[in-house]
Amino acid sequence: MSDVRHVLVLPDREAAEEVVQELGERFGVVEEPQLVREALAGEDDAEDAQWLVVLRDEAGRLDPGELDAFAGEWDGWREEP
């Protein structure tokens, strides 16, 4: 069993929370993804943070291209972990 992870980068917490909800509905993700706040380098302001949605995909069911397009609906993207 491999430890495959996908990291979606979102512009704000609201977008990240919406993505988490949609992942279950659209992709059938059952395990709760992890939400992580990531401050941008050199930025002190809490508003200047990105939110990461980290999800495990041990079965390799999720298509990276589809996830990238999906994150793009919220002005985000998929990043290689």
Indicate the pTM of the whole model: 0.85
Q: Taking residues 44-69, what's their average pLDDT?
A: 86
Q: Domain 5-41+48-79, what fold?
A: Alpha-Beta Plaits (3.30.70)
Q: Among candidates 1, 12, 22, 10, which has minimal Cα distance to 53?
A: 10
Residue-wise pLDDT for 33-44, tens only, equals: 999 998 766 555
Per-residue confidence (pLDDT) for residue 1, from 0 to 100: 46
Instruction: Look up residue 50 and give its two tokens.
Output: 């990105």
CB 64 within 8 Å of CB 78: yes
Tokens 């809490």 sit at which residue? 46
Per-residue confidence (pLDDT) for residue 49, from 0 to 100: 83
CB hemisphere CA count around 37 (13 angstroms) = 10
Give the model's confidence band at 69: pLDDT under 50 very low, under 70 low, under 90 confident, else very high.
Answer: very high
Which residues, 6 or more positions from 15, have their beta carbon under 8 angstroms from its beta carbon?
51, 74, 75, 76
Return mean pLDDT, the chain: 88
